[in-house]
Amino acid sequence: MKALILGPNDHRSSEPLDVLGEPGLVKLAGKDTDGAVAVTHLTVPKMSGPPLHRHSREDEWFYVLDGELVWVVDGERHTGGPGASAFLPRGTAHTFQNFRDETAHILVMVTPAGLERFFEDVTALNKGLAQPDFAGTGKLMGDYGLELLGPPLSE
């Protein structure tokens, strides 16, 4: 492994991400850490967030840089603003949503790495589409060991 210094707009993927409407930058990829960990910076616009799901392969950690998110983790609702974090071990049913008018920014770390490749594949699959390809995205989720459990949060 080598040391790595990135500027604010630098990333470790082939292009910036668009994960179902959430712009992102891979800041640390599995190729940088021998597969140990990956870190992605995501921008979470109002009413944005993933569907309820669970990971079978990786543990996931979220850190809120600014804004506010609402998480549902194994059926319990939690709210966190700047400095809040959430650790979700593999097998944990979870989702999050930004219900605020202001955009939130978060860091998402997974261990082991690999989820950043899912983000890249989702970006490529949906690039230029007016509406996301939900069937294709669902198939990709299965390919990456993600289980779709329900829709995104609504207020």
Q: What is the pLDDT of residues 87-107, one digit of tens each?
A: 999 999 999 999 999 999 999
pLDDT at 104: 98
| Distances from the Cα of 112 to the Cα of 53, 102, 141, 152, angstroms | 18, 31, 16, 25
CA dihedral 148, 81, 113, 25 (to 10 degrees): 100
pLDDT at 155: 76
Residue 43 reports pLDDT greater than 90: yes
- The pTM score is 0.94
pLDDT digits (tens, 9 = 90+) for 71-87: 999 999 999 999 999 99
